[in-house]
Amino acid sequence: MAKLIPAAERILRARKLIQQARDYPVPQDGLGKSDFSYVAQVKDYFRQARELVKLIPFTAGVSAEMKADVKKLYEEIEQANHEVLKK
């Protein structure tokens, strides 16, 4: 059976994934930021981050502060997506 990960740990892991997406090296040859494999990997990091936190707001016993952190994290993902994938 899968081990449960506390909400705070999920948020930390999601932030690490966002940072990994930002740090992922842009291919120097070929299409650069338009390279399909680069875009796919970066979007996968963002998808994993969303998946980690998507159920936190619906979990019983989670504070309003934690729910606000999840909302802020979604905004961070969108901002990072815009910064990393736009030219």
The number of folded domains in the chain is: 1
- pLDDT 10s digits, 31-63: 777 788 889 999 999 999 999 999 888 888 888
List of residues 6+ apart from 35 with CB closer than 8 A: 27
Of the candidates 36, 49, 33, the one whose C-alpha atom is nearest the C-alpha of residue 82 is 33
Residue 76 falls within a domain, yes or no? yes
Which residue range(s) make up the domain with 50?
7-85
Measure the CA–CA gap between 87 and 66, rounded to whole angstroms.
33
Residue 43 falls within a domain, yes or no? yes
Measure the CA–CA gap between 29 and 37, rounded to whole angstroms.
13
Q: Is the pLDDT of residue 6 over 80?
A: yes
Residue 29 falls within a domain, yes or no? yes
Residue 2 falls within a domain, yes or no? no
- pLDDT 10s digits, 61-78: 888 899 999 999 999 999
Residue 17 falls within a domain, yes or no? yes
Residue 11 falls within a domain, yes or no? yes
